[in-house]
Amino acid sequence: MHLEPTALAAPRDLIPHAHARSAAFGLRAQDAMDAMPLASADLRCALQRNRTLADHALPVMETLYHQIAGTHSMVLLTDPEGVILHALGDDDFVARADRVALRPGGVWTEERKGTNAIGTALALGQAVQVHAGQHYLRANQFLTCSCVPILDPQGRALGALDVSGDHRSQSKHTMALVRMSAQMVENHLWNQVHEDAVRLHFHARPEFLGTLVEGLAAFSPDGRFLSANRSGQFQLGLSHSALQAHTFGSLFGVDMGQVLDHCRRGHAELLTLRLPGGVTVMARPAYRPQAERLWVAGRPAEPARAAARSSGLSGLRYLNTGDPVLALAIARVTKLLGRDIATLIQGETGTGKELLARAIHHDGPRRQAPFVAVNCASIPESLIESELFGYEEGAFTGARRKGSPGKIVQAHGGTLFLDEIGDMPLALQARLLRVLQERSVAPLGGTRQVEVDIQVVCATHRNLREMMAEGSFRQDLYYRLNGLVVRLPALRERSDLAAIVQRIQQSGADGGSPPLPVCPEVMDLFARCAWPGNLRQLTNVLRTAALMAEGDTVIRREHLPEDFLEECEEVAAMPPGPAAAPAAQPLQAITAAAIAQALAAQGGNVSAVARALGVSRNTVYRYLRAQAA
């Protein structure tokens, strides 16, 4: 919906002017409520168009609802056209709200519902509260509604956040809560859009940095102004359009080069800057280009879908660091992007299976929709069914109020990544197969089927063919999931180790400062290591070494973790022959040896072992159960 600044009215005139517009639309106060919602297909389209807004708003909505629970109210999220997308509410109020279409699919523009908080707030582009008899239609006068538009970084309405409830139960603090919640959503969106920009967090009082009231401003590396949040515009004393004519230097009197140098050096202290009006503010700059974020901790940064927005780099192309086996896998998945063919990624734990899955999602036509990852090995068997398929309220003891949609529904329109699919209990494999065949899911405790449109990518370190022969993995599910099978090489098998080390170091460098080089002796040691934890283990080793080498000019052997050195010495001491080649050993033997060694080094602490190897605790527990059998 287009926002018209000229339509803004003084607060005391707001309701009379809105009533006049309602009459001009041909509405009469005594008219029956238009309770007809959008058709289900149209609502699905609206949800798909506004997926990014919902991703950022839904967690905030839950928090807001907990703050108002028990007040006969509900929290609503709308699109810019006044269509309700999502709703959370008290059970005793939902039925009354349903009668006036205050539910997903309801359309609350002034044209259709007369003066109301949602329609009027979107029409005026400002926060609006409409109390009881201020509603134009009498059918709505049992409500008090507080609504705030949610703006994108350019000041355009993306939608609105609203609290509606019984007019007898509304708190005077409700509007303040809605304002703060809308600002939280805006700030989350703002940070995502400008994650590749030079960002400045500022406020006259340093204790307010990191809070909702801090100013946020984004600039290109050459100093050009990009955007500022509401607080930033207020503190700068300029509107978004007026700020377009400015640069970092004209606003703060400091050259952008000094700020970039501050970021590269990783300085923790705040900058003191002066605003155009003469006010002094304390500021914290931040700058980390996209290319340096993708391999944080040897895993993809969140989310991959934004990675190519500014640089044009393909997620799959970025993964190709020179190893021919990996290059072949990337070439194969590239050919099938957008073809709705399930992909099964095989490889040891820590080889980057999720990284590849995210890159597939990022490069495909679903990149703007959610990427939902489920680790079948890390969720307790008793909970995986409810996590994956969702549940209705009261489905089991301890179930959340209002139930949960489940990961499959959350992935609607996007990609569902099932990591360690080989660890899924056999009983649930049949349910998953049915969902994939019918493209619909029924939550636990419910009978209704929810249609889903998902791309499925699975990964496993297990041999699923052996599991089929043993009867622990369904044959029909296997052939449903392996439309394309690709294998990721273990780190010890890769020919691009030097490039991987460099990339991990660059991704972990604070403030963009150059990482310490690794001396040839250490690189030679890396080349001979078995790397049972693969990329995760290498990442942990490099991060520890970088901290130990602070003040030095190069990473040396003495900076490496002791347990890693012991592991490497054991490999070097192995006699020649087939047994000395880690790559020739069965995967289970390598994993078992690594876990046994880590358990000894960590004194039996399972969590510490999992962190050291970069594997799940369930993997360690499975090893312990096998040893006890």
Percentage with pLDDT > 70 across the chain = 81
Instruction: Output the DSSP codes for 398-426.
Output: TPPTT-B-HHHHHTTTSEEEEETGGGS-H
How many residues are given for the chain?
629
Q: Same domain for 518 and 545?
A: yes
CB 110 within 8 A of CB 24: no
Q: Cα separation of 306 and 310, whole Å?
A: 8
Per-residue model confidence (pLDDT) at position 464: 92
Q: Same domain for 106 and 228?
A: no
pLDDT tier at 508 (50, 70, 90 boundaries)? low
The verdict on residue 524 lying in a domain is yes
Percentage with pLDDT > 90 across the chain = 32
Mean pLDDT across the chain = 81
Residue 71 clears pLDDT 80, i.e. is over it: yes
Per-residue model confidence (pLDDT) at position 564: 83
Q: Cα separation of 192 and 417, whole Å?
A: 22
**Residue after which a domain boundary falls, among 258, 287, 316:** 287
Per-residue model confidence (pLDDT) at position 280: 92
The verdict on residue 189 lying in a domain is no
Single-letter amino acid, residue 576: P
The verdict on residue 276 lying in a domain is yes
Q: Same domain for 455 and 562?
A: no
Q: Of 66, 143, 156, 133, nearest to 108 (Cα)? A: 143
CB 417 within 8 A of CB 371: yes
CB 8 within 8 A of CB 121: no
Q: For the residues 377-391, what does the mean pLDDT come to?
A: 74
Strands 450-451, 440-441: parallel, antiparallel or unpaired by DSSP? antiparallel
Is the model more confident about 569 or about 349?
A: 349
**Residue after which a domain boundary falls, among 252, 287, 322:** 287
Burial pattern 446-467, b for ≥16 Cβ within 10 A else e, equals: beeebebebbbbbbbbbbbeeb
Q: Same domain for 229 and 135?
A: no
Q: Which of 165-179, 262-276, 310-324 has the lowest average pLDDT?
A: 310-324
Q: Same domain for 28 and 168?
A: yes
Q: Of 176, 258, 173, nearest to 212 (Cα)? A: 176
Q: For the residues 530-555, what does the mean pLDDT come to?
A: 87
Q: Which of 231-245, 252-266, 411-425 has the lowest average pLDDT?
A: 252-266
For the CA atoms of the chain, what is the radius of gyration? 28
Q: Same domain for 478 and 552?
A: no
Tokens of 611: 């962190």
CA atoms within 13 A on the CB side of 562: 2
Residue 545 clears pLDDT 70, i.e. is over it: yes
Strongest mean pLDDT among 288-297, 414-423, 555-564? 414-423
Q: Same domain for 16 and 165?
A: yes
pTM of the model as a whole? 0.48
Tokens of 56: 């950022």
Domain at 323, CATH number: 3.40.50.300
Q: Same domain for 164 and 225?
A: no
Per-residue model confidence (pLDDT) at position 124: 93
Q: For the residues 205-218, what does the mean pLDDT come to?
A: 86
Strongest mean pLDDT among 73-87, 165-179, 596-610? 73-87
The verdict on residue 109 lying in a domain is yes
Q: Of 52, 49, 98, 44, nearest to 76 (Cα)? A: 98
Residue 387 clears pLDDT 50, i.e. is over it: yes
Q: Which of 88-92, 240-244, 368-372, 407-411 has the lowest average pLDDT?
A: 88-92
**Residue after which a domain boundary falls, among 287, 316, 334:** 287
Q: Of 397, 370, 375, nearest to 388 (Cα)? A: 375
Q: Same domain for 128 and 201?
A: no
Q: Rounded to the nearest 10 degrees, how much is the dihedral formed by the CA atoms of 550, 552, 558, 563?
A: 20
Q: What share of the chain is helix, strand, coil (3-state, %, to 5)?
A: 50, 15, 35
Domain at 256, CATH number: 3.30.450
The verdict on residue 82 lying in a domain is yes
The verdict on residue 375 lying in a domain is yes
Residue 346 clears pLDDT 90, i.e. is over it: yes
Per-residue model confidence (pLDDT) at position 210: 79
Q: Which of 342-356, 415-429, 575-589 has the lowest average pLDDT?
A: 575-589
Q: Cα separation of 377 and 383, whole Å?
A: 11
The verdict on residue 188 lying in a domain is no
Q: Cα separation of 593 and 609, whole Å?
A: 12
Per-residue model confidence (pLDDT) at position 9: 40
In which element (H, E) is residue 476 found? helix 475-481
Q: Same domain for 342 and 312?
A: yes
Give per-residue pLDDT as tens, 562-594.
878 877 765 544 444 433 333 434 445 656 777
Q: Same domain for 262 and 306?
A: no
Strongest mean pLDDT among 48-57, 453-462, 541-550? 453-462
Is the model more confident about 106 or about 582?
A: 106
Q: Same domain for 236 and 147?
A: no
CB 203 within 8 A of CB 235: yes
List the beta bridge partners of residue 227.
218
Structural domain including 126 reads 5-179
Residue 489 clears pLDDT 50, i.e. is over it: yes
Give per-residue pLDDT as tens, 461-470.
999 999 999 9
Q: Which of 257-271, 302-316, 336-350 has the lowest average pLDDT?
A: 302-316
Per-residue model confidence (pLDDT) at position 59: 83
Cα-based distances in Å from 269 to 245, 248, 265, 563: 29, 19, 11, 35
Is the model more confident about 444 or about 301?
A: 444
- Neighbouring C-beta atoms of residue 84, cutoff 10 Å: 27
Give per-residue pLDDT as tens, 285-307.
988 654 344 333 333 344 333 33
The verdict on residue 343 lying in a domain is yes
For 155-240, where are the E strands, in sequence order?
Answer: 157-166, 198-203, 215-219, 225-228
Q: Cα separation of 82 and 602, whole Å?
A: 57
Q: Cα separation of 569 and 555, whole Å?
A: 19
Residue 151 clears pLDDT 50, i.e. is over it: yes
Q: Cα separation of 438 and 262, whole Å?
A: 55
For residue 344, the 8-state DSSP code is E
Sign for the CA dihedral angle at 102, 107, 110, 113 comes to negative
Per-residue model confidence (pLDDT) at position 107: 93
CB 357 within 8 A of CB 315: no
Q: How many domains does the chain have?
A: 4
Q: For the residues 493-521, what does the mean pLDDT come to?
A: 78
Strands 415-419, 371-375: parallel, antiparallel or unpaired by DSSP? parallel
